[in-house]
């Protein structure tokens, strides 16, 4: 696909959730940046490990 790396920074909140991310990638010579912020999380939902 022409991608050799994609640096990604993530900010993790006190509950271990991703609160923000910033990703930079170059695809076939075209630089691209994707970033976002997450907020207003609902209540924590229990998740069990698969068997």
Q: Look at residues 23, 31, 34, 26 and name the one whose alpha carbon lies nearest to residue 2.
A: 26
16-50: pLDDT as tens digits: 899 999 999 888 788 889 999 999 988 888 999 99
Say how many Å lie between the first and final Cα of the chain, rounded: 35
Place of tokens 């930079």: 24
Structure confidence at residue 1 as a pLDDT band (50, 70, 90) = low
Residues whose CB is less than 8 angstroms from the CB of residue 9 and which lie 6 or more positions away in sequence, other chains included: 21, 22, 23
H-only helix segments in 1-51: none
């Amino acid at each position: 696909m022409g991608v050799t790396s994609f640096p990604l920074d993530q900010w993790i909140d006190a509950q271990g959730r991703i609160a923000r991310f910033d990703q930079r990638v170059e695809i076939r010579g075209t630089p691209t940046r994707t970033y976002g912020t997450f907020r207003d999380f609902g209540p924590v939902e229990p998740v069990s490990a698969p068997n």
